[in-house]
Structure 1
Amino acid sequence: MPATLSFLTRFSCRTWVRYSLALFPMLLSVSCGPESGDRPTPSASNPPTTSNREVKEFNVIDVAVIPALSPKEQEKQLESLAEYLEKSLGYPIYFQVTPSYEQAVELLVQEKVEVAYLGPLTYVLAQQQNPQVEPIVAPIEKSTGRPSYTSVIIARKAAGIDSLSDLKGKRFAFVSRSSTSGYLVPMAHFQKIGLRPDQDFATVKYSGNHDKAQADLEAGVVDAIADSRPSLLKRQKSGKLDPSQYQIIWESAPIPMSPIVVSKKLSPEIVSSLKKALINAPEGLADVTGAESAGYTLVEDADYEPIRQLQKTLEANSGPRQ
């Protein structure tokens, strides 16, 4: 079986299925017909191998990715990673940028994919629903040289917001209730200092991903947003979110980086090969947010215990996530 396939060709069918998920859940079972560069048809000379798991057809590794960026941009960012993994593992890799954070968790928990790029919180949520999933590696943030990042609150200077207390009466956007830096960490801090977004802010919006939250801020839809520093730096590098017009008014303590998580359906041999490939990956491959990484490092469940405890505290004070 050839190790590399046309990334754009592979995405042609997956893209249609992915965007259909939000409206037609039954399409999860749709299989794409053979295309140039698509899944190979088994034959006597090319039989389906089941060394990694009996139920997986043709040795294809499906990977769900949380929607940190716009789908097209995120797919482009992941192209080099897909090509590298296919060459390293010898298996076709099919990435799915899901419509929502929750969809990525669902696909992994229900074992409809074998691997997922999740955020720290979405990993915790997935592990609560399926204890068999486990994190294997996480990217090293290039700007810090560490497997951690921070959450930030960014505000429009024209809105007269210089501190968290100035957010009262203003319009605010979180990324998603399943986002670590775009909801969990800043929301926990709001609770700690007695700030109640549902009562103290003029409006509260959930933009869906980091790109959309940033776009809402730039368009003047909101006055401030919760974001991650790597995502902010990436946006500013592209010439947007000009520091002369926008400022960070709060930054969190370090947060463990977003892990790559695997299902127990993958054999130990495949998991070991995947770990080795990622640890030996060249610098610069995109992480889940599309930000540049300085390689990957091994992680384990205990690394995300602070996120688990933060989630429990938040739910205890405000009730379960909606």
Structure 2
Amino acid sequence: MPFKISTRLFIRFFFSFSVLFFLIFSGCVRQETPKKASLLKRAVEISADVNDIERNTLKFGFDLRLDPKEDVRIYSPFLEYLQNATGKRFSIKFTEKYEDTVDNLGKGITHFAAIGPLNYVAGREKYGNGIKYLVSGVNNEGDPRYQAVIFTRPGAGIHSIKDLKGKPFAFGPRMSTQGHLIPRKMLEDEGITVRDMSSFIHTDSHMSTVRVVLNGEYEAGGIQDVLARRLEREGKIRILKISEPYPSSIIAYNSALNAETVKAVRSALLVLEPEGRHKDKLIDWNQTEMPLGFISINESEFYKIAVLARRYGLLTK
């Protein structure tokens, strides 16, 4: 006989099963809710911790010098030194565009920055007292000044600055003191303006300038003295001319910082001994414009930078 089930029995069975399923499901929900609430609470706590760390972290920016990877490798242990010396938390704020370094400082996105004197003068013009001077870098001779270099590649057939007339030239970033401002004056001192060149370019860093010259895209370029001297020792470039000394790169800060933080960071910078007791804490610091640490100078030193910047239309006022 075929198996049959009555309609009434089926309804009773379906109703009972539905009730049982609802009880089981609701029990699971009641058991899972505390777990979900706990996880949500923990996520909120973690987010709050991260936000708290972010709020209490001092952001440090810098003008691009070599390439991003190298610059970060050099600045990371330097910031670790500052962190240990001041008890403040630091992190790097990297920017691809040269001008963004000083803009970030003026807007308060960063709190401190290592910038060239041209970028500092431009920042002061744009943000007024929103940006302030802290300390200047000291070179290998113990002087808070540096030089720019005009160079070519070995075998390029360029023997002096005058040979660059009618040739393509590579400057560094437009707001770079050593890569653009000073080399431009060096060329003009020899009677060569940008109009006398077959073409010119603004690269994004000193190292990029080196690359385009060595690749034969440009006959010569302008870069910082520390890098130029190292590359000449390695036989990779030939220096055509070294400029007179100008005020070195500086550390500047956003004026919204409290006085206690500024004082602590300034003190830590002034006692830094890159070639002495702190040498093992730093990496390749001798490749920067501050190889012997920092010193305070009179801001009137930046006047001749401002004069040149106005001559070349780099300042608006």
**How high is the TM-score relative to the length of structure 1?**
0.75
Quote the offset at 1:283 in angstroms: 1.4
Is 1:229 the counterpart of 2:225 in the alignment?
yes
Mapped to 1, the partners of 2:88 and 2:297 lie a distance apart of 24
CA apart distance, 1:130: 1.1
Match of 1:247 in 2: 238
Provide the residue aligned with 1:168 in structure 2: 165
Measure how far apart 1:289 and its partner are. Answer: 6.2
Q: Is residue 226–residue 288 contact of structure 2 (8 Å, CA) maintained in 1?
A: no
Q: How does 1:205-216 map to 2 (within 5 A)?
A: 205-216=201-212
Secondary structure of the residue aligned to 1:131 is: helix
Give aligned pairs, total.
265
- How high is the sequence identity, in percent, across the aligned residues? 25
Residue 152 of structure 1: aligned partner: 149
Equivalent position of 1:281 in the other structure: 272
1:141-162 CA-partner distances (Å, limit 9, x unpaired): 12x2211111111012422211
1:266 to 254, 257, 262: 257
From 99, 107, 110, give the equivalent of 1:110. 107
> Contact 1:68/1:289 (CA < 8 Å) preserved in 2?
no
Secondary structure of 2:93's aligned partner: strand
Q: Matches of 2:269 and 2:120 in 1, distance apart?
A: 18
Task: Output one character per residue of 1:160-179: Cα deviation in whole Å (capped at 9) or x when no partner.
Answer: 21111100222210011101
Quick one: distance in 1 between partners of 2:286 and 2:263? 20
With over 3 angstroms needed to count, the CA separation of the structure-2 counterparts of 1:320 and 1:274, relative to structure 1, is closer
Cα distance in 2 for partners of 1:230, 1:40 equals: 42
State the match for 2:192 in structure 1. Answer: 195
1:299 maps to a residue whose letter is: I
Matched residues in 2 for 1:292 and 1:272: separation? 20
Partner of 1:294: 292
Tell me, yes or no, if the aligned pair for 2:86 and 2:265 is still in contact at 8 Å. yes
Instruction: From the CA coordinates, give the structure whose radius of gyration is larger.
Output: 2
Tell me: CA distance 1:209–1:288, structure 2 relative to 1, closer, same or farther (3 Å): farther
**Structure 1 residues 68, 140: CA separation in 2 closer, same or farther (over 3 Å shift)?**
same
Distance 2:286 2:60 in 1: 11
| Aligned match of 2:39 | none
Distance 1:296 1:193, change over 3 A: same
1:76 maps to 2:67: no
Which of 306, 309, 315 is residue 308 of structure 1 equivalent to? 306
The C-alpha deviation readout for 1:184-238, integer Å capped at 9, x for no partner, is 11212333443122x322221212100111111222221111111112134456x
Letter in structure 2 aligned against 1:59? N
- Aligned partner letter, 1:209: S
- Pairwise CA distance, 1:287: 6.0
1-structure distance, mates of 2:298, 2:252: 10
In the TM superposition, residue 301 of structure 1 has moved relative to its aligned partner by: 2.5
Unaligned runs of 5+ in 2: 1-42, 276-281
Q: Answer whether contact 1:134 1:300 (CA < 8 A) is retained.
A: no
Q: Which residue of 2 aligns with 1:179?
A: 176
Alpha-carbon deviation of 1:75?
0.5
Which residue identity is paired with 2:64? P
1:33-48 aligned at under 5 Å gives the runs: 40-41=49-50
2: CA distance between counterparts of 1:113 and 1:150? 27
Unaligned runs of 5+ in 1: 1-32, 43-47, 49-55
Aligned pair in 2 of structure 1 residues 111, 172: CA closer, same or farther (>3 Å)?
A: same
Deviates more, 1:276-285 or 1:205-214: 276-285
1:92 aligns to 2:83 (yes or no): no
Aligned partner (choices 243, 248, 268) of residue 257 of structure 1: 248
Classify 1:127/1:291 alpha carbon distance in 2 versus 1 (closer, same or farther; 3 Å).
closer
Specify the code of the residue in structure 1 equivalent to 2:305.
I
Shift of 1:131: 1.4
Q: Single out whichever of 59-68 and 185-194 deviates more from structure 2.
A: 185-194
Cα offset, 1:109, TM superposition: 1.6
Amino acid at match of 2:239: I
Letter in 1 for 2:124: Q
Distance 2:118 2:287 in 1: 14
Question: More helix per residue: 1 or 2?
Answer: 2
**Equivalent in the alignment of 1:67:** 64
Q: CA deviation at 1:258?
A: 0.3
Mapped partners of 1:64, 1:158: distance in 2 = 38
